[in-house]
Structure 1
Amino acid sequence: MKQGKDVSGEIGATGSTIGRPLPRQPLVAVSADVVELYKYLWHATPLQYLEAAVSGAGVFPLVVPSFGDRLDFDQLFAAVDGLMVTGSGSNVHPSLYGGDGSEVNGPYDLARDSTTLPLIRKAIAEGLPLLAICRGLQELNVALGGTLATEIQDRPGNLDHREMKSGNRDERFAIHQTLSITSDSCLSSVVGGGPITVNSLHRQAIDRLGEELDVEALAEDGTIEAVSVRGAPAFALGVQWHPEYWVRSDEPSARIFRAFGDAVRARAAARLGVAQAAE
């Protein structure tokens, strides 16, 4: 996976390039969950992801409703310069990777699955910068033919990766788990090559790695915690933890979002250059 070109030197204080102005906040498509609230079904995204997109990546998050193939993805991709696939309380339905659905492993969100998987494949095919977080990493793996292991805390030798039981959100998302990073990887170029400590909280994980994916980080028990898309022309990273939560105070988290934002701006600048050349 190649890093996006740093275009910060080409953009002036007004956020413009020579000729036509570059958008100060390029549009980024963001996945949505289908949840019930106030007796209605909502297509919604948690605030922490949207806040991190704005303050950490410097982009304009555009929440995409989970209507699957009823949406014109070509029209969407003509407008956006990145895709962020968020975490969620739901899990990818096992039928999508050859498993059997069980309420024990739920809840599920098939409407989201029907939207995010084709969005991920299209983003990779079109070279759109991609950041996949927690459930998003699992969707990325399934979208590329991989499988997931459910309830991994029950496996002999595995750590319990689930969140701490607490009414305090900061305690639940506390940074506590040490990961080793693959040398000379996309992630090492972003956060450095040494071990990092993250807030990974999940009960399922990658089992068989999807085609075109490379392992970027491992937990102490061997659980895959980060992947990248091999040969992707732009930033395409999936992380199992939650960099969005501490983006303002944790430097590795901030670096991930800055790298994603830089890649999005690079694509926006390149697309603008192509459009100008055609005029």
Structure 2
Amino acid sequence: MSNIIYIGYYFKVKPQQPAVEILIAELGYAGFESFVETDEGVTAYIQKDEWREAILEDIQILNSDEFEITYTFEDIEQTNWNAEWEKNFNPIIVDNVCAVRAPFHDKFDTQYDIIIEPKMSFGTGHHETTHMMIQHILNNDFKNKSVLDMGCGTGVLAILAELKGANPIDAVDYDNWCYLNSLENVERNNCNHITVIEGDASVLKNKKYDIIIANINRNILLQDLKTYASCLNKNGMLFLSGFYNDDIPMIKAECEKHLLKFEEKLERNNWVSLKFLN
């Protein structure tokens, strides 16, 4: 049986901004789930089971006269993935408070130091949405709060939630690779209060949380917001990201339908993250 489970697309983009951000957003809607910005543009990854021959037909920016975008693609073998990340994964520091680094990086003198070996999982802090979610966690009270990290990817947000005093924490992802990667990263950061669960919103039945973090994409958020609202305790907080500025009216409307009140917006390169209260 083949161990090739992902396809990698290598995009060269001129000029890069704002084209790279737009391209990542459109690729996310098409089903791509992991992105690495490069000196020439962006590399994007999609599960082979989710790939189809016409996968790029709806990517409008590829037909734009404003940008020159070319690409190649290839099958990615699981055994090659660590080398890919070591070539592309640089450490980051968020607001001079939280560092996110790989095991092969030196330790930073920050209040929070998180070690992530991302493999194929999404969520290293490099992408705007993860960066903003880290900011939300840093800026809000998580002490003794029950937390759900939905679409946990690498587990980085759940790990930071524990470092901020949250307990207990559920980290959920439907992708087996993300599930296994989160387990590894939770252990790597000596976390004791995180339960990693493989599954989708259906695993949340009869569960309640003080705080829900969901960094996924617009379509899944719209589909699952009713479930999140039902799982949120009174006076609870909901943090959402994984969508573009133009998607805010749809997200707000769905949240208001379930009596969630808009509280705050963060924006980074046209990506947004919203905070709602129950």
TM range (shorter): under 0.3
Larger RCO of the pair (alpha carbons < 8 Å, separation 6+): 1
TM-score (normalised: structure 1): 0.27
Judging by fraction of residues, say which structure has more strand.
2
